């Protein structure tokens, strides 16, 4: 029996039943947080707009820090940081509280006001978490931009958010090299002309240019401020953060999350799904630049008073046993990672695990993409030593919290299936008409009732919110963009994205984003991208490009175009394969038929070509992809 759940529910069977009274269930969960003022209503639902715990006053930073200072958690370790070069530091809840209060005062001194978006572009270091919690403390929504994104991708996000403050670092350690974060940030700042102040954390000691009156060292500012900063009383529905994610157009969407419902959703799911115990050492390997980093590295676990491990680097540096070395060193008990990492470990072989003591582990999790049963079994056997349950958790940036998952100690575990919707949520698989599909039939993942951590909007783009998520079934149900099926037990099997989003190693990248980056290159006339099945990454990007008149095809140009995408978006968007072609397969009305490109890239039989305007395009492409 899951110990945390056992405390809240009478019997195992009761859990799902009891949560059938959804609003009662969520109200009970919300009550375990600290509120300055209780809410007036649990849910106000005017589809597609939800207000959870409206009228309530709460602060996320207060719930992650201050409330733990009243009891024995005051001196409990909140963060354990392991740097890539091997340095480490820990913060107790009380120490973390001090740092967050100080940085909140720094932000105030720099003129940051409640409601103003602060952009954070940082490596995986404690200061990144301190910055997030400091923003939350003063009611300034944060927009964390993944440190692996390019200066141009950063500039787009700064512009969209209208951000005047940027927090960054001199550099980031990456496999023994240094990524010049501050340089990238400078380019973005120049490009947007919006940012008035930047705060720079000294992490690598790299020489950087500091502009007087604009750029400030974090350590200098932190010396000058008091450690006292009361948490702002925020409305439950005030924005906690914006997080940009890829969609089907070239422009990333700023997914908006608010405070009370989000915190209720992430703390509840974190506590029950990971069966959190006071003594656990919890490690989530996600970067804070992604939603998993927000919900299950920062807000969920800290609201629950957990000890959270933060690691700066990659799993293969300096050796391929780095993760297992860390598990051994800190006696990690809960480990949450992505299937792509597991498949990589499989490839590397078991020797790296065998030389380390992994006996502290008791629970494993995965997120970000479907886990193939073979990788699940390997994870179970070699990492969990057949002792540790695995929670395969399905959710999205937009859902904010885990939605479909097993509950350890309660659910039957089934390799490859994320099993059942979390108690108190309603997730279904529907056909186009909005009816539930039969057992074994493929349909679309829908969320049929509002849930507390749901997105509230797309930042500054209400129409896009409605069109993307709520137009599929006349504004009634949330459309997730994934296809899935159910087995005879009603358990969910997620197949993957059905829109033009490629899931590379668990990271969402819109084909339109890559294509628009490509067509900005002077040599390119037209481009189309698809996701090709990849053994390790789940999907890899394949691009097909036609060139402008007079431009000659060459290997050098292929390399140049790949690098161009990396510079425009970031290394994660660099295609594995890029083909230069004279023509792309199109319909008579001129629409590129991507599914045929997919067939070609996968080397399988070509599907229906009746809508194709000119079949010669296909033959040439098939020849290319074979070589």
Q: Applying CB under 6 A, which residues contact ligand WTA?
A: 245, 290-292, 367-370, 392-397, 418, 480-482, 494, 496-497, 503, 508
CA distance 58 to 626: 59
Strand boundaries in 231-362, DSSP class E: 234-235, 239-245, 253-258, 281-284, 307-311, 334-337
Q: Which residue, 65 or 418, is less far from ligand WTA as judged by CB? A: 418
* Shortest CB 492 distance to ligand WTA, Å: 9
Q: Which residue, 258 or 405, is less far from ligand WTA as judged by CB? A: 405
* Shortest CB 342 distance to ligand WTA, Å: 12
Q: Among 315, 298, 336, which residue's Cα sits nearest to residue 82?
A: 315
* Shortest CB 245 distance to ligand WTA, Å: 5
CA dihedral 604, 607, 609, 612 (to 10 degrees): -70
* Shortest CB 285 distance to ligand WTA, Å: 13
Q: Which residue, 343 or 586, is less far from ligand WTA as judged by CB? A: 343
Q: Which residue, 105 or 417, is less far from ligand WTA as judged by CB? A: 417
CA distance 420 to 426: 10
Q: Exposed, middle or buried, 481 (CB in 10 Å: 0-12/13-18/19+)?
A: buried
* Shortest CB 430 distance to ligand WTA, Å: 15
CA distance 197 to 204: 21
In Å, how far are 153, 279, 307 from 74, measured between CA atoms?
A: 39, 14, 12
* Shortest CB 400 distance to ligand WTA, Å: 9
Q: What strands, in cross-sheet order, belong to the sheet with 118-120?
A: 215-217, 197-201, 165-169, 118-120, 142-144, 239-245, 253-258, 457-458
Q: Which residue, 119 or 397, is less far from ligand WTA as judged by CB? A: 397
327-341 in b/e burial notation, b at 16+ Cβ within 10 A? bbebebbbbbbbbbb
Q: Which residue, 56 or 370, is less far from ligand WTA as judged by CB? A: 370
* Shortest CB 365 distance to ligand WTA, Å: 9
* Shortest CB 531 distance to ligand WTA, Å: 11
CA dihedral 16, 447, 262, 32 (to 10 degrees): -20
* Residue closest to ligand WTA, measured at CB: 397
Q: Which residue, 292 or 511, is less far from ligand WTA as judged by CB? A: 292
* Shortest CB 71 distance to ligand WTA, Å: 32
Q: Among 146, 149, 144, which residue's Cα sits nearest to residue 161?
A: 144
Q: Which residue, 307 or 366, is less far from ligand WTA as judged by CB? A: 366
H helix runs in 207-277, sequence order: 218-223, 260-273
One DSSP character per residue, 134-178 reads: HHHHHT--EEE--TTB-HHHHHHHHHHHT--EEEEES-EEETTEE
Q: Are 404 and 427 in contact (CB under 8 A)?
A: yes
Q: Which residue, 26 or 394, is less far from ligand WTA as judged by CB? A: 394
Question: Regarding beta strands 501-504 and 507-510, do their DSSP bridges make them parallel or antiparallel, or are they unpaired?
Answer: antiparallel
Q: Are 392 and 406 in contact (CB under 8 A)?
A: yes
* Shortest CB 281 distance to ligand WTA, Å: 22
The token pair that represents 188 in the structure block: 């973005």
What is the gyration radius of the CA atoms in the chain, in angstroms?
Answer: 24
* Shortest CB 36 distance to ligand WTA, Å: 30
Q: Which residue, 124 or 494, is less far from ligand WTA as judged by CB? A: 494
Q: Which residue, 171 or 506, is less far from ligand WTA as judged by CB? A: 506
* Shortest CB 495 distance to ligand WTA, Å: 8
Q: Among 190, 248, 184, which residue's Cα sits nearest to residue 500?
A: 248
Q: Which residue, 83 or 421, is less far from ligand WTA as judged by CB? A: 421
Residue with tokens 């550099």: 171
């Amino acid at each position: 029996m899951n110990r945390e759940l056992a405390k809240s529910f009478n019997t195992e069977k009761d859990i799902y039943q009891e949560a059938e009274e959804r609003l009662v269930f969520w109200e009970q969960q919300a009550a375990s947080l600290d509120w300055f003022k209780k809410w007036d209503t649990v849910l106000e639902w005017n589809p597609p707009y939800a207000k959870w715990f409206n009228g309530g006053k709460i602060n996320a930073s207060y719930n992650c820090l201050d409330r733990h200072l009243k009891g024995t958690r005051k001196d409990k370790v909140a963060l354990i940081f392991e740097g890539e070069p091997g340095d480490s530091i820990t913060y107790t809840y009380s120490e973390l509280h001090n740092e967050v209060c100080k940085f909140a005062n720094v932000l105030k001194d720099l003129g940051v006001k409640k409601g103003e978006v602060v952009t954070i572009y940082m490596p995986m270091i404690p200061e990144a978490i301190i910055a997030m919690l400091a923003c939350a403390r003063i009611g300034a929504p944060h927009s964390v931009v993944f440190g692996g994104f390019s200066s141009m991708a950063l500039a787009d996000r700064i512009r969209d958010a209208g951000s005047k403050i940027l927090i960054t670092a001199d550099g980031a350690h990456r496999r023994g090299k240094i990524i010049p974060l501050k340089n990238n940030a400078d380019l973005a700042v120049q490009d947007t002309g919006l940012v008035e102040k930047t705060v720079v954390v000294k992490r690598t000691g790299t020489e950087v240019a500091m502009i007087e009156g604009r750029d400030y060292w974090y350590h200098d500012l932190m010396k000058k401020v008091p450690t006292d900063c009361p948490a702002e009383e925020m409305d439950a529905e005030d924005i906690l953060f914006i997080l940009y994610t890829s969609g089907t157009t070239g422009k990333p969407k700023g997914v908006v999350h608010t405070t009370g419902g989000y915190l209720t959703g992430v703390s509840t799911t974190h506590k029950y799904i990971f069966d959190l115990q006071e003594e656990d050492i919890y490690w989530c390997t996600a970067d804070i630049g992604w939603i998993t980093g927000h919900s299950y590295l920062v807000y969920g676990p800290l609201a629950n008073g957990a000890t959270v491990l933060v690691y700066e680097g990659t799993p293969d540096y300096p050796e391929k046993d780095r993760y297992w070395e860390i598990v051994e060193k800190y006696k990690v008990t809960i480990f949450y990672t992505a299937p792509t990492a597991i498949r990589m470990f499989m490839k590397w072989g078991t020797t790296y695990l065998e030389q380390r003591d992994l006996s502290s582990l008791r629970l494993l999790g995965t997120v970000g993409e479907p886990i193939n049963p073979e990788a699940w079994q390997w994870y179970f056997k070699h990492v969990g030593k057949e002792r540790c349950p695995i929670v395969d958790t399905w959710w999205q940036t937009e859902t904010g919290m885990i939605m479909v998952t097993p509950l350890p100690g309660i659910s039957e575990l089934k390799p490859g299936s994320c099993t059942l919707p979390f108690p108190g949520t309603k997730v279904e698989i529907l056909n186009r008409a909005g009816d539930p599909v039969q057992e074994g039939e493929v349909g679309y993942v829908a969320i049929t009732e509002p849930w507390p951590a749901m997105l509230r909007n797309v930042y500054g783009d209400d129409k896009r919110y409605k069109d993307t998520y709520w137009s599929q079934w006349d504004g009634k149900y949330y459309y997730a963009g994934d296809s899935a099926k159910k087995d005879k037990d009603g358990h969910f099997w997620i197949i993957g994205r059905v829109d033009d989003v490629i899931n590379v190693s668990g990271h969402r990248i819109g084909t339109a984003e890559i294509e628009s980056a490509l067509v900005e290159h002077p040599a390119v006339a037209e481009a189309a991208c698809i996701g090709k099945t990849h053994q390790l990454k789940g999907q890899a990007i394949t691009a097909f490009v036609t060139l402008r008149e007079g431009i000659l095809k060459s290997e050098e140009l292929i390399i140049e175009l790949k690098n161009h995408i990396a510079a425009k978006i970031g290394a994660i968007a660099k295609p594995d394969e890029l083909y230069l072609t004279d023509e792309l397969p199109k319909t008579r009305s001129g629409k590129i038929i991507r599914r045929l490109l997919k067939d070609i890239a996968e080397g399988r039989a070509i599907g229906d070509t009746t809508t194709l305007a000119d079949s010669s395009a296909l033959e040439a492409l098939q020849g290319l992809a074979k070589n």
